[in-house]
Chains A and B, each alone.
Chain A
């Protein structure tokens, strides 16, 4: 019976550990499946909302994003719910079309960083030695820089456009996956199920793919979900600094940047900024809930 088995005993009588490890309120909240946790639900809802917006942008947006037709710098009104910018473009339409860029690009670069990072990390962890030393020093090198600075440098070196910005963020982003994958592979490498597979004749690569992958996939995916918000910020940040999306592309970071140039017309920067904020928050909510589920302790209590 796992219920009693999981109860840790008090270490020592009188050694201060008066509190046995028990279910706290947070634990119990985390025990709930994600579809019953309010924050995860809110996060999921927001993500779903933005996904729908991105997919149906041409139908939802009142105007094309780059059409310079309206009054210049009009504040929000019935005709232009979020106002217009200095070229007379509808901010609402631009925010809606911005979702078509930010979300897919963030997803793409997270998937790429996740694949590259976890592959390198898993290989480093499994084979160790020189491979490990090379890959992980490379990761340390990247991690030693503040992310946005390195991304700036890479994007600047490659040239200012959106594709290069994505590459720059991938370069900055992969080491965290490598570290996580490596540490999990290191933990599992000497476990007996891996040894059993090896004794049965499974090669190193096959063992890593068949036996280890399912065991490290969960935490990596959670990290990916948590990282989506980060990716949106980095990408928008590069655009904000002029190294990502170039005018007239409707990209949220670039729009915030335009907002800064027109500081007293708050709506130009505020609404794309809110879009970034909601997306980042939503991914963090969902990622947190997923992390609780995958925590082995809570997972066991869930009967997983």
Chain B
């Protein structure tokens, strides 16, 4: 929906930047049959677009994110970056064209090498991304520029990670990812481990980077309210499947899948004045024994008899908006559409205040 905001053309004309197409990811378990963490999940990320991927823990959203950058191999389906299949990371170095597909992790301390100066780590990333070592001056200039871009003083390059707060470490991790001049970043719960005030800082920083430099971002989070603020499109996963995906504002305004509704209603709102969030009873099922029919039916408040037996197909609610639910109905063409989504795009487009 926000492709027109960008002027950066993708390498293969017409191909989305990052394309996850109907992938399955299975984990082998010792002495058991393998468990499918992700089943038939698809999503695309365009240039300059922030796609929010939400769901409960264990729903497979992190696995999908790791598959998207080639850290785990899909057992079916394909991940394409710039129209070319993403190679799964092996022993050798990652191919250079793939190095512009980067990842930011949840734990800011774990994602930085504790025994190396942060400036060195960023400089290394720049050299690896460029495929050639930079000379001393150019390298330190580049490090300073990247630190500045994530809101840190270039003078901190000589410090070690433990000298920073969690939010600052996450900024450094982002600077390191940016050093490789990425066109697409997969951010896996990048703000979940941070303090309240740092969460908004980092979320805004990431959204601002996507807007300014036109890179696509897959923003994985269990926090729907943040996704609502910064994502152009929202993808909701439940138990390994994408159950709803569409432009953020209409999905929030009129969630088409009961699970999306349950998630939204469970978000506590500050200042709402004594409103207890709504509970979604039950637990995510045992991955070894997925329920028949719709996977959400044991917890679904709107379950019908057919849900227990029929695996629901995807229904196009509106262009670019799909819900995998038997009850889902397409909206009349005039009421909504990706083009008239208020709010979300402007929010994402605003740099950090």
User: Is B a genuine binding partner of A?
Assistant: yes
Q: Give the distance in Å from the alpha carbon of A211 to the alpha carbon of B111 in the complex.
A: 12
- CB B105 to nearest CB in A, in angstroms, measures 4
B135-153 near A? 1/0 per residue, CB < 8 Å: 0000000000000000000
Q: Give the distance in Å from the alpha carbon of A215 to the alpha carbon of B114 in the complex.
A: 8
- CB B162 to nearest CB in A, in angstroms, measures 7
Contacts of B121 in A (CB 8 A): 193
**A200: CB under 8 A from chain B?**
yes
| Contact partner, A211, options B99, B110, B113, B179, Cβ 8 Å | B113
**B176: CB under 8 A from chain A?**
yes
Q: For residues 218 through 259 of chain B, which have their beta carbon under 8 Å from a beta carbon of chain A?
A: none
- CB B139 to nearest CB in A, in angstroms, measures 15
Q: Give the distance in Å from the alpha carbon of A217 to the alpha carbon of B270 in the complex.
A: 48
Contact B89 A198 (CB under 8 A): yes
Contact B129 A201 (CB under 8 A): yes
Q: Give the distance in Å from the alpha carbon of A176 to the alpha carbon of B76 in the complex.
A: 43
**A246: CB under 8 A from chain B?**
no
A191-205 near B? 1/0 per residue, CB < 8 Å: 111011111111110
Q: Give the distance in Å from the alpha carbon of A211 to the alpha carbon of B94 in the complex.
A: 16
Q: Give the distance in Å from the alpha carbon of A265 to the alpha carbon of B272 in the complex.
A: 92
Contact B124 A192 (CB under 8 A): no
Contact B112 A193 (CB under 8 A): yes
Contact A198 B94 (CB under 8 A): yes
Contact B111 A193 (CB under 8 A): yes
Size category, A interface: 20 to 34
- CB B63 to nearest CB in A, in angstroms, measures 14
Given contacts A192-B110, A214-B115, A215-B113, contact A200 B124 (CB under 8 A): yes
Q: For residues 200 through 226 of chain A, which have their beta carbon under 8 Å from a beta carbon of chain B?
A: 200-204, 206, 210-211, 214-215
A286-304 near B? 1/0 per residue, CB < 8 Å: 0000000000000010001
- CB B119 to nearest CB in A, in angstroms, measures 14
Contacts of A193 in B (CB 8 A): 110-114, 121
**Interface of A, helix, strand, loop or mixed by DSSP:** helix
| Contact partner, A214, options B89, B92, B113, Cβ 8 Å | B113
Contacts of A304 in B (CB 8 A): 162
**B71: CB under 8 A from chain A?**
yes
Contact A196 B176 (CB under 8 A): yes
Contact A200 B71 (CB under 8 A): no
Contacts of B102 in A (CB 8 A): 199-200
Contact B129 A200 (CB under 8 A): yes
| Contact partner, A200, options B95, B112, B128, B162, Cβ 8 Å | B128
**B206: CB under 8 A from chain A?**
no
Given contacts A199-B89, A200-B125, A214-B113, contact A192 B94 (CB under 8 A): no
- CB A157 to nearest CB in B, in angstroms, measures 37
Given contacts A192-B110, A215-B115, A304-B162, contact A203 B92 (CB under 8 A): yes
Contacts of A202 in B (CB 8 A): 93, 124, 128
Contacts of B107 in A (CB 8 A): 192
**B116: CB under 8 A from chain A?**
yes
Task: Count B-side interface residues using an 8 Å CB cutoff.
Answer: 35
Q: Considering the complex, give the chain B residue whose CB is closest to the CB of A206.
A: B93
Q: Give the distance in Å from the alpha carbon of A296 to the alpha carbon of B110 in the complex.
A: 14
**A49: CB under 8 A from chain B?**
no
Contacts of B101 in A (CB 8 A): 199
Q: Considering the complex, give the chain B residue whose CB is closest to the CB of A217.
A: B115
- CB A29 to nearest CB in B, in angstroms, measures 23
Contacts of A198 in B (CB 8 A): 89, 94
Q: Considering the complex, give the chain A residue whose CB is closest to the CB of B161.
A: A193
Q: Give the distance in Å from the alpha carbon of A198 to the alpha carbon of B98 in the complex.
A: 11
**A69: CB under 8 A from chain B?**
no
Contacts of B180 in A (CB 8 A): 200-201
Given contacts A201-B128, A202-B128, A304-B162, contact A196 B89 (CB under 8 A): no
**B30: CB under 8 A from chain A?**
no
Contacts of B91 in A (CB 8 A): 127, 203-204
Q: For residues 246 through 304 of chain A, which have their beta carbon under 8 Å from a beta carbon of chain B?
A: 300, 304
Contacts of B129 in A (CB 8 A): 200-201
Q: Give the distance in Å from the alpha carbon of A281 to the alpha carbon of B270 in the complex.
A: 62
Contact B116 A201 (CB under 8 A): no
Q: Considering the complex, give the chain A residue whose CB is closest to the CB of B176.
A: A196
Contact B111 A199 (CB under 8 A): no
Contacts of B131 in A (CB 8 A): 201
Contact B103 A214 (CB under 8 A): no
Contacts of B124 in A (CB 8 A): 197, 200, 202, 210
- CB A230 to nearest CB in B, in angstroms, measures 27
Contacts of B162 in A (CB 8 A): 300, 304
**B264: CB under 8 A from chain A?**
no
B172-183 near A? 1/0 per residue, CB < 8 Å: 010011011000
11 interchain pairs, CB-CB under 8 A: A193-B111, A195-B71, A196-B105, A197-B128, A199-B102, A200-B125, A200-B176, A200-B179, A201-B95, A201-B180, A215-B115
The 5 residue pairs across chains A and B that have the minimum distance between CB atoms: A214-B115, A192-B111, A203-B93, A201-B128, A192-B105
* Besides A196-B173, A215-B115, 20 new A-B residue pairs in contact (Cβ under 8 A), listed by A number: A192-B106, A192-B110, A193-B121, A195-B105, A197-B113, A197-B124, A198-B94, A199-B89, A199-B99, A199-B101, A200-B99, A200-B102, A200-B124, A200-B125, A200-B128, A201-B96, A202-B124, A210-B124, A214-B116, A304-B162
